[in-house]
Amino acid sequence: MMEVIWYVSYFLVLIGLSGYGFHRLMIWFLYWKHSRQRPEPKKHFDELPVVTVQLPMFNEMHVVKRLLKAVSEIDYPKEKMQIQVLDDSTDETIEICKEEVAKLVERGYDAEYIHRTDRTGFKAGALEEGTKVAKGEYLFILDADFVPNPDVLQKTIHYFSDDNIGMIQTRWGHINREYNLLTRVQAMFLDGHLELEQTARNRSGRFFTFNGTAGMWRKSCIIDAGGWDHDTLTEDMDLSYRAQLKGWKFIFLNDVETPAELPVDMDGFKNQQHRWTKGSIQVCKKILVPIWRSDAPLVCKLEATAHLTSNFAYLLLFLLLFLISPKQYFRPDWAWLQTHPWAEHLLNVPIFFFGSVSVALFYAASQKALRPGTWKKDILYLPLLLALGIGMSINNAKAVLEAVFGHETGFVRTPKYGIDKDEEKKSNSWKSSRYKGIKSLMPFFELAFGIFFLVIVVENLITMNWVTAILLMPFPVGFFYTSLSSIARVMPELFASKEQKN
């Protein structure tokens, strides 16, 4: 009986993962079908409206000056642009912000500094406070690690000439894409989401969501949707669904790029992924039932369900970690399996295609669309992208479970270090910064899984099960990459602290 349970559970988990892989193929199809249908403004404003640029931040001393410099260079009339620095900082960022805002005011900008000593609601709370006193009907939101291009407002504002438009999202670019291996893989990961998913959802008439930054909201849309709630860690996704359920329309502009800095260390990346994963499941619990009760078309409800539940795939992947080895050793003694060994492949082949090949095709398509000159070189990193997804399974499965069982955690910011494009090959100053991701015992669990799967791969190589060994190779690679990258950063600090004690 145990053999049957292990065997059936193994395939059920793989079928579940394949379902999310099939969804990626559907997204690719919708992208292929609708990508050329670029939206155009209903008309151009005769007189440009007032825009409030909101800059929420918390302890961002490395990037504040770069951000405010870029904002001051935006091609928009000074008298029509208000700059709000929404700062919850507790360190030197406070003084830097005050100095830089004062300089902007001296240069004739309508800039104000709003500092909160109570971080209630975290980023959502800061945006809520800023929106109350914002002069503009249109709110352009930028996280501290973004560097907007000068023409970003001119390329977006005119879409609001349609009174039904509530939000415009631009596509993220990557300032430090080639800084290290992690940033290269992250860039591919985000390109897939922003270029394929957001374009496909928006232009096919499905729901799509604000990405938390590099987008512009109509203030009346925010108010009509109920404002910024802070009962989830992804207030952007929450507000987006509430607004669209109210009938507001959104636009995604994939050809308007707003560059940003990617996390350069594994701990920062894990914190970011944990927050995004947990927040999406929190929104799923909050919004999915209202979506199905709404009058939205069935295709929109189905796509929203796939979107909001997609991170449950990490929970399935985590379960798979415990099923792979038993499945190899404990197979049901079914006669038809013995007489028809090929029958198992009828399940294995489509599962492998939808679970792995579809994911690779998805990210390859995004690179071909965005980087036509280099996409063939970029896709060489696809095996590592797949391995990184496996390596992140423990971190992200933990986030899913925390959301499911209502375990409350604070908003953990992603450290930014001000790594500019011109310095990306030589700047290592971030390693001495006190802004670091939260440390935990997670890397040691990941290391244990890496060793476990390495033993399984070696065993299959010894027994000449080449196909199985190759298919399982991403597991030890992924876990060694996520664990050792974190441990390598912790060890020098441990040795340094021991030397100081001695």
Give the model confidence (pLDDT) of 246-289 as tens digits: 999 999 999 999 999 999 999 999 999 999 999 999 999 999 99
- pLDDT tier at 409, thresholds 50, 70, 90: confident
Query: Greater confidence, 225 or 18?
Result: 225
Note whether 251 and 165 are within 8 A (CB).
yes
The residue among 423, 86, 417 whose CA lies nearest residue 263 is 417
Active site residues: 88, 236
Residue 152 forms beta bridges with which residues? none
| Residues in contact with 132: Cβ distance below 8 Å, sequence separation at least 6, in sequence order | none
The sheet that has 81-87: what strands, in order across it?
110-115, 81-87, 51-57, 138-141, 215-218, 165-174, 249-260
The stretch 186-214 carries a mean pLDDT of 96
- Helical packing angle, 93-106 and 64-72, nearest 10°: 20
CA distance 281 to 285: 6
- Both structure tokens of 423: 């310095």
What was the pLDDT predicted at 306? 96
Q: pTM of the full predicted structure?
A: 0.91
Position 155 pLDDT exceeds 60: yes
413 pLDDT tier (thresholds 50, 70, 90): confident
Percent residues over pLDDT 70 in the chain: 88
Cα–Cα separations (whole angstroms), residue 8 to 150, 317, 324:
56, 15, 12
HSE toward the beta carbon, residue 364, CA cutoff 13 A: 14
Side chain identity, residue 456 = I
Cβ atoms of 323 and 6 closer than 8 Å: yes
pLDDT in tens, 106-142: 999 999 999 999 889 999 999 999 999 999 999 999 9
If you average pLDDT over residues 342-366, what whole number do you get? 75
